[in-house]
Amino acid sequence: MSIYAKGFGFKFGVGKAKKIAIAGIAVLFVVFALYSLAPLLSQTPLEARFEQNPWLQSEKDSILLFVKVSNTTGSDVQNAMLEVRPKSEALIVFPQTASVDETLAPGDSRLLAFNIRKASPSS
């Protein structure tokens, strides 16, 4: 079965309509996927997020950074999920440092907490 538009010389079959419909759905799916991923692709680096954090009102304020380590090589974290919480939620407060004296094994998965203080401008 086909539709023929007189005067235009264009034959449009049902098989071609199915292909166009499938291509249109695929395009919509790709557009939706890109729209969903846009916030993830535009995230600022961790340091910039610290500067924009509303909890850091002064240099004395500090926050807790929870790091869920999912894959490590020695002490280099390859993939980590970061969650920033206010200092008032702290159950354990580590010294004012952004590092911990502990070697992480490859594939280690644990929750580490750091009490991170906003760095003061160097004079």
What's the pLDDT score for residue 42? Answer: 58
d(CA 93, CA 40): 30
Mean pLDDT for back-to-back runs of 10 residues, the chain (123 residues): 55 73 90 76 50 47 48 46 48 41 46 45 43
Total-model pTM: 0.28
What's the pLDDT score for residue 41? Answer: 59
- From residue 76, how far is each of 20, 71, 73, 103, 120 by CA, in Å? 49, 9, 5, 9, 26
d(CA 86, CA 62): 8
What's the pLDDT score for residue 39? Answer: 62
